[in-house]
Amino acid sequence: MGLKLPIYLDYQATTPCDPRVVEAMLPFFTETFGNPHSRQHAFGWAAEEAVEQAREQVAAIIGAEPKEIIFTSGATESNNLALQGVARLYKAKKNHIVTVVTEHKCVLDSCRQLEEEGISVTRLGVKPSGLIDLDELAAAIGPQTVLVSVMAVNNEIGVIQPLAEIGALCRSRGVFFHTDAAQAVGKMALDVNAMNIDLMSISGHKFYGPKGIGALFLRRRPRVRLQAMMLGGGQERGHRSGTLATPLCVGLGEACRIAAVEMPAEALRLAGLRARLLDGLVGRLKHVEVNGDLDRRIPGNLNVSFGYVEGERLLAEMKDIAVAAGSACSSASTEPSYVLRALGVDAELAFASLRIGLGRTTSVAEVDYAIDHIVDAVSRLRERSPLWGMFREGIDTRVKTWAGN
């Protein structure tokens, strides 16, 4: 049986909803359709019971208590609520936030918004590996620091930040620690207590749940408080008003349940596929560079740059495989990836980069096809590239002084 084209290899952008998740959700669209906040009759009770079971499932995968889980529309809302909600509530006492230049856009944009409101923000750089320097973080935390926000897993390069060490440092300084874990939940073991995490953002569609649902973990002991952004009926203990989408909550819970069971075996399988992919590329192409630490990385991510390739043409050559040149939310930008630039990757290589995401339905045959497809595309582009011709003639295009300069 032949492969079905195109092949999906962009699992950091989104994942297909697991059929088991869909099956769990379906009754709550038509049969058990009650409002989970209607406590006067059986329809509401049944919906509320389903939502609370989902809350328990979400809490379990990160080692939290169910009452510490707030349902949201996704990680973007969770990140906005965490940063803006905490900063505004504590502003009179502490008015400084520390974050990282490689964070998701919704974190960086929230910080810019808060700066306009008088909050001071420190943005840490990263090492060439993509990881932060813990000494720099320690030096950045001061008496006015209320919150440190560092994403668990980067959405472009897949590197895993040292969460436990960051959490221990923040706890010792009396500072809240928030992590955007959209790319981490369901893909690696997480424990909010062992890691001293105070707030954590979760997104359902990143690990085979439905789109439009996420969660924010908000620690109760020691208690973290925040200012609500959605006002109304006071649902979610006053933190996020609005009628909960019962089917989506159920779907998120079921995705967490499945991931908790299958994650260890799936991580090993994906690590094997990624090794096969990388070996296939570097074995047949020269000047292939991996972006970000290869060891401290989720197993389903590979971000690679190809030297002597015109970047704007590279993605256009990827006709039969769905991959990305950067994050999905910033794909409209014509600038090179700000994440890769923060690692010190030069602009040409940053443009000529692919983010390849492997997932639950990825097969060995699909990986082998992707290797052939990428190798052929890069080889064709290099044959047309004057830079590649000059390189093969022994001219280093990076140091050549051009006439007229």
Active site residue 106: no
CA distances in angstroms from 279 to 4, 10, 13, 269, 274, listed in the order given:
24, 19, 24, 16, 8
Place of tokens 């994650």: 263
CA 228 distance to own-chain centroid: 24
Quote the pLDDT of residue 327. 44
Quote the pLDDT of residue 328. 46
Q: How would you write the pLDDT of the chain (405 residues) with one tens digit per residue?
A: 579 999 999 999 999 999 999 999 999 999 999 999 999 999 999 999 999 999 999 999 999 999 999 999 999 999 999 999 999 999 999 999 999 999 999 999 999 999 999 999 999 999 999 999 999 999 999 999 999 999 999 999 999 999 999 999 999 999 999 999 999 999 999 999 999 999 999 999 999 999 999 999 999 999 999 999 999 999 999 999 999 999 999 999 999 999 999 999 999 999 999 999 999 999 999 999 999 999 999 999 999 999 999 888 999 999 999 999 854 454 455 688 999 999 999 998 999 999 999 999 999 999 999 999 999 999 999 998 887 878 888 886 654 444 443
Going by CATH, does the domain composed of 7-13+263-392 fall within 3.90.1150.10? yes
Residue 328 carries which DSSP code?
A: G
Quote the pLDDT of residue 332. 52
Quote the pLDDT of residue 80. 98
Residue 47, both tokens: 């919906």
Q: Indicate where the chain has its CATH 3.90.1150.10 domain(s).
A: 7-13+263-392
Q: Indicate where the chain has its CATH 3.40.640.10 domain(s).
A: 19-259
- Work out the angle between the directed axes of helices 75-90 and 105-116 (0-180°, nearest 10): 30
Cβ count within 10 A of residue 334: 6
Quote the pLDDT of residue 387. 78
Quote the pLDDT of residue 333. 55
Measured between alpha carbons, how far is 272 from 17 in angstroms, rounded to an integer? 23
Residue 22, both tokens: 């869909």
pTM of the model: 0.95
Measured between alpha carbons, how far is 207 from 16 in angstroms, rounded to an integer? 8
Q: In what order do the strands lie in the sheet with 288-290?
A: 288-290, 301-306, 353-357
CATH class of 19-259: alpha beta
Cβ count within 10 A of residue 189: 14
Measured between alpha carbons, how far is 15 from 176 in angstroms, rounded to an integer? 31
